[in-house]
């Protein structure tokens, strides 16, 4: 709150109160409302004036002749011109609730219950720091067997009450008009929301927690349980500046609190319980344990309450940055190499999202299988999402490359002498590699399933980094064919998120669009990628594998070469990376030097 507004609020009270005196962080005066309610007004009105404090401007009468509130309520009670009140917005539309209140209510019944409180119950509340005056103010009563908590509505009438057995909090029922039993009406002391416009308010789990805060003089509303928190309409707190959430010490309450806080936003400040406290510990337990120190304990929790932010704290953000730097300087990060020296030099290893486009039959899958299995052989966990070849072909081609034996000879078991030895050694390599190399052919894969796969292999291999290969981008599942373009872009968004959250490097095969001459021979650029305008925004590195031969001619297999171009990169210079010569018939490529073209 700005300094000038702090002073304007203090001036508002000084100018409209009798015998106003400011001492430290408080203003005291004669209560302007007590005399009309049959009380002695002398020195009974208190205003909190701690500059910059959450409750600056909050007033209360020590006789409790009127409910406490902030300057806008003070002006309404004194019939002052609201335009002179700090925080008044003439263009603000009031929150209108479409409630059709019935003519019958429980008001008289609630009064009789309030007058029926026993000394034993009063003593029990006193142990939790809750005095009789607070119980009277909140109309808490006793029906002879159950405590009665009346749920007054915005119109000032009570239509429903929650009846709770004193010794068993789980034993309760709702009494009154069934229309007001539903969750949208389950806010105890709901009128405090309107009284705290442009101010601070507590939202509590449990009516007794509210009573404990009311004893200290704070404004508060409550819900009966944590589940009701999830049903609250955030718009009810639109005009509250700061909302403190006070729940019990339990996982269930924490989850409900977080869900509500995420819907309401930055104005929420949850109370945090220190470690080691019993499950379901509440402010009432704290009041019983702290006694006269309870007020100081609550003040400390208010100071320690941090805004529920969508951002990590600056301390955590810096620690995370340093942690990432440490990881990236580690040996495992440096080991994320493709196995092709010139490619690894051009990209500084396989990091981020790497899109590789290629013409049909240019060897994109073979290229990816070779990189993926070479990394897995070096104990780097790899998930290979295959929608092109099938796991049997992937394993056969890998075995052929490792053994230097053709797939035909492997299938026909036509192995003799040295080939038999190389084949057995390659089988052992493949068997060991499969712990780090997992092939997924499920065409119903979703980003959520992919995340679970990544979590599994990270846990299984005890590695923080994972490589995910997708062959191919255009074969990923979409809802229907008409959504292909938007589906691809949505998958790219998911890959960005997975990359950042789970330390994943992607190798993604993409189809290419034909050029003007219906060929794939045009100069490589980002526009040659098929079906997604988002590749240029999502890819950390975009590459094109162009065949330097005519796939339709009868060129000698030994001379088939492809040129790999880096067409765009966030950190590296684009240009020609290397030639990749087909290693026929062993389903691999050999990297060859080329003169780098700009």
Q: Is 597 helix (H, G, I), strand (E, B) or coil?
A: coil
Residue 92 covered by a domain: no
Structure tokens at 215: 């004893």
Residue, of 466 and 555, whose pLDDT is higher: 466
Q: Are residues 287 and 411 in the same domain?
A: no
Q: Are residues 414 and 275 in the same domain?
A: no
Q: What is the pLDDT, as a whole number, of residue 598?
A: 41
Residue 482 reports pLDDT greater than 70: no
Residue 389 reports pLDDT greater than 60: yes
Residue 348 covered by a domain: yes
As a whole number, the mean pLDDT across the chain is 90
The CATH number assigned to the domain holding 440 equals: 3.40.50.300
Residue 478 reports pLDDT greater than 80: no
**What are the angstrom distances between the C-alpha of 153 and each of 101, 106, 150, 192, 244?**
9, 11, 9, 11, 21
Concatenating the DSSP letter of every residue in 535-566 gives HHHH-SEEEEEEESS-TTS---GGG-EEEEEE
Phi, psi at 251, each rounded to 5°: -65, -40
Q: To which H or E segment does residue 511 belong?
A: strand 504-511
Structure tokens at 63: 């006789």
Helical axes 484-502 vs 447-461, angle rounded to 10°: 30
Instruction: Report the C-alpha dihedral over residues 390, 588, 356, 457, rounded to 10 degrees.
Output: 60
Residue 226 covered by a domain: yes
Q: What is the pLDDT, as a whole number, of residue 549?
A: 73
**What are the angstrom distances between the C-alpha of 213 and each of 131, 142, 144, 385?**
11, 21, 26, 57
Picking from 335, 321, 415, 421, the residue whose alpha carbon sits closest to that of residue 375 is 335
Q: Are residues 336 and 423 in the same domain?
A: yes
Q: What is the pLDDT, as a whole number, of residue 308?
A: 81
Q: Are residues 377 and 477 in the same domain?
A: yes
Number of structural domains (the chain) is: 3
Is residue 198 within 8 Å of 72, Cβ to Cβ? yes
Q: Are residues 136 and 71 in the same domain?
A: no
DSSP state at residue 512: B
Rounded Cα distance, 482 and 485, in Å: 8
Instruction: Give pLDDT tens digits for 101-134.
Output: 999 999 999 999 999 999 999 999 999 999 999 9
| Tokens 């309030």 belong to residue | 114
Residue 577 covered by a domain: no
Q: Are residues 392 and 519 in the same domain?
A: yes
Residue 554 covered by a domain: no
Q: Are residues 53 and 115 in the same domain?
A: no
The CATH number assigned to the domain holding 72 equals: 3.90.580
Cβ neighbours around 156 below 10 Å, total: 10
Is residue 227 within 8 Å of 80, Cβ to Cβ? no
Q: Are residues 298 and 200 in the same domain?
A: yes
Exposure on the CB side of residue 409, measured as CA atoms within 13 A: 16
Residue 256 reports pLDDT greater than 80: yes
Q: Is 452 helix (H, G, I), strand (E, B) or coil?
A: helix
Q: What is the mean pLDDT of residues 206-220?
A: 97
Q: What is the pLDDT, as a whole number, of residue 597?
A: 45
pLDDT-wise least confident of 190-199, 243-252, 440-449, 527-536: 527-536
Rounded Cα distance, 355 and 245, in Å: 46
What count of residues does the chain have?
598
Residue 471 covered by a domain: yes
Q: Are residues 273 and 343 in the same domain?
A: no
Residue 596 covered by a domain: no
Domain stops at, among 506, 522, 546: 546
The boundaries of the domain holding residue 196 are 111-304
Concatenating the DSSP letter of every residue in 165-215 gives ETTEEEEEEEEE-GGG-SGGG--BTTTHHHHTTTSEEEEEESHHHHHHHHH
Q: Is 576 helix (H, G, I), strand (E, B) or coil?
A: strand
Is residue 468 within 8 Å of 438, Cβ to Cβ? no
Cβ neighbours around 90 below 10 Å, total: 6
Residue 181 reports pLDDT greater than 90: yes
Q: What is the mean pLDDT of residues 278-298?
A: 95
Q: To which H or E segment does residue 451 belong?
A: helix 447-461
Residue 95 covered by a domain: no
β-bridge pairing 268-270 and 353-358: unpaired
Q: To which H or E segment does residue 588 belong?
A: none
Helix, strand, coil percentages in the chain from 3-state DSSP, rounded to 5? 40, 20, 40
Residue 467 reports pLDDT greater than 80: yes
Q: Are residues 233 and 372 in the same domain?
A: no
Q: What is the pLDDT, as a whole number, of residue 31?
A: 97
Q: Are residues 179 and 230 in the same domain?
A: yes
Buried/exposed 362-399: b ≥16 CB within 10 Å, e otherwise: bbbbbbbbbbbbbbbbeebbbbbbbbebeeeebbbbbb
Is residue 161 within 8 Å of 151, Cβ to Cβ? yes
Residue 595 reports pLDDT greater than 60: no
| Tokens 């402010």 belong to residue | 283
Structure tokens at 141: 């009563």
Rounded Cα distance, 248 and 282, in Å: 5
Residue 323 reports pLDDT greater than 80: yes
Residue 557 reports pLDDT greater than 60: no
Q: Are residues 133 and 76 in the same domain?
A: no
Structure tokens at 425: 């050694």
Is residue 12 within 8 Å of 86, Cβ to Cβ? yes
Q: What is the mean pLDDT of residues 209-216?
A: 97
């Amino acid at each position: 709150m700005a300094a000038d507004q702090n002073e304007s609020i203090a001036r508002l009270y000084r100018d409209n109160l009798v015998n106003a005196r400011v001492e430290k962080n408080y203003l005291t005066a004669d209560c302007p409302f007590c005399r009309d309610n049959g009380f002695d007004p002398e020195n009974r009105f208190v205003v909190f004036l701690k500059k910059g404090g959450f409750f600056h401007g909050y007033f209360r009468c020590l006789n409790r002749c009127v409910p406490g509130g902030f300057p806008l309520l003070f002006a309404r009670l004194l019939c002052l011109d609201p335009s002179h009140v700090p925080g008044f917005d003439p263009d603000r539309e009031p929150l209108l609730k479409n409630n059709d209140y019935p003519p019958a209510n429980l008001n008289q019944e609630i009064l009789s219950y309030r007058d029926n409180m026993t000394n034993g119950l009063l003593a029990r509340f006193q142990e939790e720091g809750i005095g009789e005056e607070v119980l009277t103010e909140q109309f808490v009563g006793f029906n002879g067997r159950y405590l009665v908590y009346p749920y007054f509505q915005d119109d000032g009438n009570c239509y429903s009450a929650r009846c709770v057995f004193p010794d068993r909090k789980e034993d309760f029922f709702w009494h009154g008009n069934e229309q007001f039993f539903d969750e949208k009406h389950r806010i105890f002391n709901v009128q405090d929301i309107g009284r705290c416009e442009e101010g601070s308010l507590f939202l509590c789990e449990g009516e007794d927690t509210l009573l404990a805060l009311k004893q200290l003089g704070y404004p508060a509303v409550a819900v009966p349980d944590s589940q009701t928190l999830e049903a609250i309409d955030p718009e009810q707190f639109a005009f509250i500046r700061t909302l403190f959430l006070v729940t019990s010490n339990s996982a269930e309450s924490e989850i409900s609190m977080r869900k509500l806080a995420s819907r309401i936003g930055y104005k929420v400040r949850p109370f945090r319980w220190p470690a080691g406290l019993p499950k379901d510990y509440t402010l009432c337990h704290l009041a019983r344990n702290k006694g006269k120190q309870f007020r100081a304990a609550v003040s400390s929790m208010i100071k320690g309450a941090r805004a529920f932010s969508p951002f990590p704290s600056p301390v955590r953000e810096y620690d995370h940055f340093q942690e990432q730097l440490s990881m990236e300087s580690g040996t495992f990060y440096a080991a994320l190499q493709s196995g092709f020296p010139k490619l690894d030099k051009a990209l500084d290893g396989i990091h981020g999202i790497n899109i590789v486009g290629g013409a049909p039959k240019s060897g994109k899958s073979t290229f990816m299988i070779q990189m993926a299995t070479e990394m897995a052989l070096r104990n780097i966990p790899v998930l290979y999402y295959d929608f092109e070849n099938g796991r049997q072909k992937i394993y056969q081609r890998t075995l052929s490359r490792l053994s230097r034996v053709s797939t035909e000879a492997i299938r026909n078991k036509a192995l003799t002498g040295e080939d038999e030895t190389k084949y057995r050694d390659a089988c052992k390599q493949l068997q060991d590699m499969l712990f780090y190399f997992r092939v997924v052919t499920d065409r119903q894969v979703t980003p959520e399933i992919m995340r679970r796969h990544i979590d599994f292999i990270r846990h299984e291999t005890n590695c923080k980094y994972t490589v995910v290969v997708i062959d191919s981008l255009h074969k990923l599942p979409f809802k229907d064919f008409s959504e292909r373009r938007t589906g691809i872009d949505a998958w790219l968004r998911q890959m960005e998120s997975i990359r950042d959250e789970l330390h994943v490097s992607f190798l993604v095969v993409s189809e290419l669009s034909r050029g003007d001459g219906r060929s794939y021979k045009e100069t490589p650029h980002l526009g040659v990628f098929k079906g997604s305008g988002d590749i240029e925004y999502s890819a950390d590195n975009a590459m094109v594998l162009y065949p330097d031969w005519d796939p339709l001619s009868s060129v000698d297999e030994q001379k088939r070469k492809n040129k790999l171009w880096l067409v765009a990169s966030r950190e590296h210079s684009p240009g020609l990376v290397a030639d990749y010569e087909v290693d026929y018939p062993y389903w691999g490529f050999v990297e060859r030097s080329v003169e780098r073209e700009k």
